[in-house]
Structure 1
Amino acid sequence: MNPSQEPGPQHYEQAQPYDPPPAYPYGGPVDALGWAPPRPRRRPLGRTVLVAVSVTAAMAVAGAPLGLLWSWLAPTVPVINAGQNGIVVNDPSPEEYIAADAWFTMIAFVFGLLAAVLIWLLRRRDRGPGLLTGVTLGGLAAAVVMWQVGRLVGLSAWNDWQDSSTAGQTYDRPPDLHAHGALLVAGFAAVIVTTLLAGWSNDPDLELPGARPGYGHDLPYPPDPVDPAVLSHPGDGRDRPGGLSSGSPAGPDPTAAPAPPAPWPADPPRG
């Protein structure tokens, strides 16, 4: 474009005062890529307590069938009525006690691991302190219920035999827990798994992006900032929200076909 053809001041219009975009509900800045940071949630205290209680109760109820499984897998202890010496183990080196504690520990550990993963997936909208508290107390409650239910299987028959047996009679005593530290295994496994899942979560709110409208990265992109001193040139493809266009072209249309090449100048005559 020749300098004589350059549009004069009448082709430009003064930009209107820049009106900043509305503030986001969380009031936080955006990063260089224009992503809005997730809005932090403030869970009500009642909701947190409800989540902790419900998770604890659900895991405690699950301890009952685990107790039946433990009583079925754990070996019984052979005992004998020794008369004046009372009822003693009919084996110089019994391993049934250790085996019963080992089965209890393994069942509790697997339960704590699977329960933590399942609750994390099912209660993803309640992830947080309430969920962690629930799996912790739930693991402890499930272990206690598992122990009490498992030891009750065959306990009445065992008590009757002790009262009615005579010297020399043998019996298979039902399993019982002797290493009470195993009661902490389920809660420990649940806490470790939940903490790892929270650490691997790529969302600060511990939810998947878009799990709930208005949270995470599903907020709209903010508009580009505009300098109020910059004039908006029409047709250049970079108009800002604050500028006005006069409709005069500023350059070639990028979608138009290219102009044909100009002919080469004729060769000068050869003398």
Structure 2
Amino acid sequence: MAEQPVWNRGEPALPTGLSDPAHPMVIPWPRRRPAVVVRADLRFGLGVFVVVALLGVPIGLLWSRLAPPQRMAVLPSGSLVPENSESYHRFDDLALFGLIGLAAGLVVAVALWLLRRRRGPVALVAAVAGSALGAWLAMRTGLFFAGHLYPPGALPPVGGTVLRAPQLNSGWGVLAQPLAAAFVYGTLVAWNGADDLGRPG
């Protein structure tokens, strides 16, 4: 029977691989963390902020095309009142704006996450800030485009109907896109679990 090394009581025993020359234990080298390039990340973040903010213009145009107008009846006094069930379109316009913002925030967050080299807090802050400004631009440009699609024009005779442009009676809709971007990107970070978020070295 081969002799076994004897260790003093109280001393930690060496791993088996160290006592067997035929099967040496391989000690892996610690993985080098990629260096954070601050200047490049900041330039990237500024570009993301500008691009995401400018996306508000096509988003506003899309909303103005999809949002339903409100049919208004002309009273003898010359005032306008919404026809039956047409007043619900005010909620429809706001809900549609919020849904488009949620979809845009999700797309922005996933697209940024796929850029592995620039993952990190700079990308998150740029996405959220750009989404907030983009949502505000979407609201302003959407109302502008909707006003041109449904101009007021002259009032028809009493009892006639006119189409009122879609409206956004609440500013809370601008929060949908930045909140969606922050939630989706944060979820991807938590799901990844790596200290370097998988950035290449």
Partner amino acid, structure 1, of 2:135: A
User: How much does 1:159 deviate?
Assistant: 5.2
Pick aligned residue for 1:194 from 182, 185, 188: 185
Which residue is 1:115 aligned to? 108
Which residue is 2:23 aligned to? none
Counterpart CA distance in 1 for 2:114 and 2:70 is 41
User: How much does 1:166 deviate?
Assistant: 5.6
* Contact 2:151–2:165 (Cα < 8 Å) also in 1: no
Counterpart CA distance in 1 for 2:42 and 2:100 is 28
Counterpart CA distance in 2 for 1:101 and 1:50 is 35
Partner amino acid, structure 2, of 1:38: R
* Contact 2:152–2:164 (Cα < 8 Å) also in 1: no
* Contact 1:41–1:205 (Cα < 8 Å) also in 2: no
Distance 1:40 1:184, change over 3 A: same
Which residue is 1:79 aligned to? 72
Map Cα deviations across residues 213-239 of structure 1 (whole Å, 9 max, x no partner). Answer: xx3xxxxxxxxxxxxxxxxxxxxxxxx
Which residue is 1:125 aligned to? 117
Aligned pairs for 1:1-271 within 5 A? 33-39=27-33, 41-44=35-38, 46-82=39-75, 84=77, 86-91=79-84, 94-122=87-115, 124-156=116-148, 158=150, 160-161=152-153, 164-165=154-155, 168=158, 169-208=160-199, 211=200, 215=201
* Contact 1:48–1:129 (Cα < 8 Å) also in 2: no
**Identity in percent:** 27
| Secondary structure of residue in 2 paired with 1:35 | coil
* Contact 1:74–1:175 (Cα < 8 Å) also in 2: yes
Counterpart CA distance in 1 for 2:146 and 2:31 is 59
User: How much does 1:70 deviate?
Assistant: 1.4
User: How much does 1:202 deviate?
Assistant: 4.5
User: How much does 1:205 deviate?
Assistant: 1.5
Q: TM-score, normalising length from structure 1?
A: 0.57
| Secondary structure of residue in 2 paired with 1:95 | helix
Which residue is 2:4 aligned to? none
Which runs of 5 or more structure 1 residues have no equivalent in the other structure? 1-31, 216-271
Moved more, 169-178 or 76-85: 76-85
